[in-house]
Structure 1
Amino acid sequence: MQETPFCLRVGHLLPKSMADSNTTEFTNPSTFILKGIPGLEWAHVWISIPFCIMYAIALVGNFTLLFIVKVESGLHEPMYYFLCMLAATDLVLSTSILPKMLSIFWFNSREISFSACLTQMYFIHSFSVMESGIFVAMAYDRYVAICDPLRHSTILTNTVVVKIGLTVVLRGSILSLPCPFLARQRPYCRTNIIAHTYCEHIAVVKLACADIRISSYYSLSVALFVTSLDVSFIAVSYTQILRAIFSLPTKVARLKTFGTCSSHLCAILTFYIPDLFSSLTHRFGHNVPLHFLILIANVYLLVPPMLHPIIYGVKSKQIRDRLLQLFTCKGI
């Protein structure tokens, strides 16, 4: 008599025939196990030090930006409203991964519930899309301010800024929603161990014992669509901005006008360059060690939130002056 094949399902054995006849009886795993950085477990504590420093700088810097814009009435204008949206997004992104990552590195607390894993996945992907949308909004603000300065206050009213902000939030929320939804529908019968420091979408769905092409194609399509659309819009905006700058009569005027865009350009580069590098290494770096890919994925989510407040603090005279004023008052 031929032995009935079995399918492993989160520590339980189910007859394959039963699974085939009624897949709706499959239940999701109660927990996943995050391995951290495979191959570098011995260095987890040392790796946690720069990550923790980056997170601390991101927290202090972004909360300081939010505080300065709130208390300084002269900064209550569209550019700084968008900057506050960027700071809030950076705080959510870095907080979505760092506390759990540090608990893995410091306390070997690797378990994460299935629902918490999908929630983390959703926050990471949705807020990444939101951040890209905020850069588009900031590029539009700079375009109007430089190319049509007399109408800037009438075009970008507070109502318009709120509508842009809601559009950015809704776009990120809706486009990212199918990722955890599709992941929840998959049966997981291989393992519940995720070779990552957080619940990255593809790292999770690869554990499923079902066809994951829909999840893979959808996540890739969203990434390509969002990046290509947003980068194209930013490129068009800055093409018009540069044309307006080079048409100014004096070098001093050109440098002064370009200086108002320099912080935004630096912030864009710190966001898209690590994203591009991470995407290329994941797609084409087949011989790249897994621990290197995971480190790059973490750097992509931690470095921009750390650098953005520094860039705007250094490049923006209004923020820099207000910050110096706060420290001077405390010193007195």
Structure 2
Amino acid sequence: MSFETPLYLCGPLREPRQMLADQEYSGHTSIHDDSMAEKLGFKAGPIEGPTHFSQFAPLLVELWGQAWFERGCFSAHFQNMVVEGEQVRAFVERPAPGATRVRCWAEKADGTPVLEASASLGPDHGETLLDQRMAKLRAPEKLVILADLHVGMTGKQDEPVRMDAEQHMGNLYPFSLKDKLERITENTPWYADPASTPWGSAIIPMEMVSVLAEYSSKLAEFPVKQPVIGLFADQEIRMVDGPLLVGEDYLIRREIVALSESKRTESYWVRSRIYDAQGETLKAEMLLNHATLKHSYPEYEAEANS
């Protein structure tokens, strides 16, 4: 006997930890600082969105095994902020036999949505959630904070990056991978013990791929007006020839692929391509919607009305 009832995998309730309270950029604290968040109308500094990606790893490995770390893509739209002390649970649709794309989502303990996502296994990912969202973007009417940006703009230089276990990741990410692994919601020896992995090296967790891909982003010198506060609204991390390895040198090239606007934000969508150290073999990509808060830019009204 068989049923048409859709079934899902879900993980346990977890309390993700806030690790960006001391984050700084452009000479000021970020939305993850409690006092800054309160000034902007939020109850406390939110936990960074990709922190929640770790809760999906055990579920997706259950579906696709180690191939998830090599060719997996997680494409997410963040819906509601989470603050430390709140509990979150991850859900993944159980795929039909042979399917390589599933729907995912996360909820707080009371059912409040945290994020919606698609997860897929390459090389043929089909249309991801963010592909769908970008296809629906309307051209912005008038950009102020992002007035000097344009689609197709690339970073000023190739950015050499790496992540060692005890490497402090700078003002944007004031902690190390070792610090993160002491607080990560879902841990595995593969994140720290080279001898335990199929690749002969410890691997970088997907939530820390976000850190690797973003901590050197100031080198791109995209001309975003300052001071302004931003947040991650959408994020996709895609392994092409993964996983990314701890202690390995990589090269990042960035490109603005979309500009958009909402009532409260101006957004620039950046695709960051992560290559091997020689810049020849594409290893992974990150698509990130940087949403800048209009009311955090002191000159917004004056420039918008000029």
TM-score by length of 2: 0.26
Q: Which protein has the bigger strand share?
A: 2
Bigger Rg over Cα: 1
TM-score by length of 1: 0.25
**Greater relative contact order structure (CA < 8 Å, 6+ sep):** 1
Q: Which protein has the bigger helix share?
A: 1
